[in-house]
């Protein structure tokens, strides 16, 4: 397994301080958020890769669409494989005004095999309250394709049953974004008491007044100073440009499926000795043909030949002294030929033993 190590350089004693980060990257204005939209639509123009007879609601949708255009069709009397029923989703940005364009995502919900080359017909997109905020229409762009004939002779790359339409929806109703005039709140993307306190101090130093007050680890209260009366947008722009040193908890993120380990150089390990070894058991089966003599009455038979072997590797020993970091541990493990799975097992064992001073997250 390929091992990929990502070292995140953060501030630690004896090392260079981490660069300052803007408030814009650490927090957002309360109430300034995206809104999710959802719609049900029909993709047409497929090359025989649409829904089959089993997906009856796509035929019903098509007949309803034709009926609105003055064409009467019995849904049970048609068999159209160039159409597919899809779910359409989109994110409505904050302060989006009528006439703005947004991207939409399209995904098949029936038994269509490919949406490549399809055209999404006019589809209303609704919010959770049922109101229509946008309408979507356009050509679907898929990130994959399917080629071949029959189930046994088909090649599929990525997911051809899902795609997107860049700028495929037009906003019809302005986004419900409300921004107070005098009392504002900042919401931290990652709640942290130290970062919240530093942010309030940095904002107050910037404006020379007590305009910011940390209410909790995840929010700050802002009061618009008199110099920015009636200019809330200018005040928020100035607040977003304030910089500070963000504090982060030591954390190691492990993806066992891909062998990726993301960690920070500030992660420390208490003095510990590690003894790690592997026991492998291998079973091999070879099939041999038993052929009787020409004049014998026996029959030809296939006889399995099973070989069982066990091999235990010599345990590998690593000693970490005071002040060792996870970087030192990983370098020592990779130097003796350890794989990503070995590194992951050792890190989990250190966390269970209380020798790893960091949060361990497996995704």
Question: Mean pLDDT over all residues of the chain?
Answer: 79
The DSSP-derived string for 263-301 is EETT-EE-SEEEEE--EEEEEEEEEEEE---TTS----E
pLDDT at site 230 = 82
pTM above 0.75, yes or no: no
Residues 280 and 231 in one domain: no
Residues 51 and 154 in one domain: yes
Q: How does residue 305 score in pLDDT terms, banded at 50, 70 and 90? A: low
CB 211 within 8 A of CB 224: yes
Mean pLDDT of the 42-62 span: 84
Residues 143 and 162 in one domain: yes
Q: From 138, 153, 171, give the residue that closes a domain.
A: 171
Mean pLDDT of the 163-188 span: 86
Residue 152 has pLDDT above 60, yes or no: no
Q: Would you mind telling me the total number of residues written for the chain in this entry?
A: 363
Residue 6 falls inside a structural domain? no
Where b means 16+ CB within 10 Å and e means fewer, 321-334 reads: eeebbbbbbbebbe
User: Could you read off the pLDDT of 186-235 as tens digits, one per residue?
Assistant: 999 888 899 999 999 999 999 887 889 999 989 999 988 888 888 888 99
Residue 222 falls inside a structural domain? yes
Residue 287 has pLDDT above 80, yes or no: no
Q: How does residue 6 score in pLDDT terms, banded at 50, 70 and 90? A: very low
The span from the CA of 287 to the CA of 307, in Å, is 11
The span from the CA of 33 to the CA of 185, in Å, is 13
Residues 165 and 43 in one domain: yes
Residue 338 falls inside a structural domain? yes
Residues 101 and 28 in one domain: no
Instruction: State which residues form the domain around 258.
Output: 252-362
Q: How does residue 145 score in pLDDT terms, banded at 50, 70 and 90? A: low
Count of H-run helices and E-run strands, the chain: 6, 25
- Angstrom CA distances, 210 to 171, 189, 240, 286, 336, stand at 40, 23, 17, 80, 56
Residues 135 and 113 in one domain: yes
Q: From 135, 153, 171, give the residue that closes a domain.
A: 171
CB 356 within 8 A of CB 251: no
pLDDT at site 278 = 57
The span from the CA of 242 to the CA of 201, in Å, is 10
Q: How does residue 139 score in pLDDT terms, banded at 50, 70 and 90? A: very high
The span from the CA of 50 to the CA of 117, in Å, is 11
Q: Which of 11-20, 62-71, 293-302, 325-334 has the lowest mean pLDDT?
A: 11-20
- Tell me how many domains the chain contains: 3
Residues 288 and 347 in one domain: yes
Residue 333 falls inside a structural domain? yes
Nearest CA-CA partner of 44 in 131, 123, 145, 115: 115
Residues 50 and 149 in one domain: yes
- Angle, alpha carbons 35-37-43 (nearest 5°): 155
Report for 216-230, 283-297, 338-352: range of highest mean pLDDT: 216-230
- What SS3 state is found at 345? helix
The span from the CA of 85 to the CA of 50, in Å, is 8
Residues 343 and 239 in one domain: no
Residue 309 has pLDDT above 80, yes or no: no
Residue 49 falls inside a structural domain? yes
Residues 74 and 165 in one domain: yes
Residue 28 has pLDDT above 70, yes or no: yes
pLDDT at site 156 = 66
Q: How does residue 3 score in pLDDT terms, banded at 50, 70 and 90? A: very low
Residues 45 and 156 in one domain: yes
pLDDT at site 15 = 40
Half-sphere exposure of 144 (CA within 13 A, CB side): 13
Residues 6+ apart with CB under 8 A from 4: 258, 259, 260, 261, 340
Residues 288 and 229 in one domain: no
CB 135 within 8 A of CB 99: no
Q: From 244, 264, 290, give the residue that closes a domain.
A: 244
pLDDT at site 38 = 96
Residue 344 falls inside a structural domain? yes
- Angstrom CA distances, 191 to 8, 11, 264, stand at 19, 18, 19
Q: Which of 60-64, 243-247, 263-267 has the lowest mean pLDDT?
A: 263-267
Residue 9 falls inside a structural domain? no
pLDDT at site 1 = 39
pLDDT at site 171 = 95
Q: How does residue 355 score in pLDDT terms, banded at 50, 70 and 90? A: confident
Residue 24 falls inside a structural domain? yes
Q: Which of 53-62, 122-131, 168-177, 333-342 has the lowest mean pLDDT?
A: 333-342
pLDDT at site 9 = 38
């Amino acid at each position: 397994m390929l091992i990929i190590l990502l070292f995140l350089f953060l501030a630690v004693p004896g090392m260079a301080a981490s660069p300052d980060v803007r408030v814009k990257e650490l927090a957002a204005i309360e109430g300034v958020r995206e809104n999710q939209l959802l719609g049900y639509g029909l993709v047409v123009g497929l090359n025989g890769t649409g829904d089959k007879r089993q997906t009856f609601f796509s035929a019903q949708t098509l007949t309803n669409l034709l009926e609105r255009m003055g064409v009467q069709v019995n849904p049970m009397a048609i068999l159209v494989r160039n159409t597919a029923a899809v779910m359409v989703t989109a994110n409505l940005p904050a302060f989006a005004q009528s006439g703005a364009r947004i991207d939409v995502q399209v995904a098949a919900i029936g038994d269509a095999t490919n949406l490549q080359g399809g055209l999404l017909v006019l589809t209303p997109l609704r919010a959770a309250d049922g109101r229509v905020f946008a309408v979507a229409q356009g050509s679907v762009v898929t990130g994959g394709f399917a080629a071949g004939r029959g189930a046994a002779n088909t090649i599929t790359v990525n997911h051809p049953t899902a795609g997107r339409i860049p700028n495929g929806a037009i906003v019809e109703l302005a986004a419900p974004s409300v921004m107070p005039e005098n009392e504002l709140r900042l919401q931290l993307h990652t709640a942290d008491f130290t970062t919240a306190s530093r942010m309030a101090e940095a904002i107050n130093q910037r404006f020379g007044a007590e305009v910011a007050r940390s209410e909790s680890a995840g929010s700050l209260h802002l009061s618009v100073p008199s110099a920015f009366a009636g200019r809330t947008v200018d005040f928020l722009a100035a607040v977003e440009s304030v910089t500070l040193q963000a504090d982060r908890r030591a954390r190691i993120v492990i993806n066992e499926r891909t062998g990726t380990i993301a960690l920070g150089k500030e992660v420390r390990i208490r003095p510990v000795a590690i003894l790690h070894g592997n026991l492998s058991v291998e079973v091999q089966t070879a099939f041999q043909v038993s052929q009787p003599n020409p004049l014998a009455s026996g029959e030809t038979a296939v006889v399995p030949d099973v070989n069982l072997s066990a091999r235990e590797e010599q345990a590998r020993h690593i000693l970490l002294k005071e002040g060792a970091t996870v970087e030192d541990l990983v370098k020592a493990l990779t130097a003796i030929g350890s794989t990503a799975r070995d590194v992951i097992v050792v890190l989990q064992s250190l966390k269970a033993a209380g020798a790893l001073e960091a949060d361990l997250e497996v995704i």
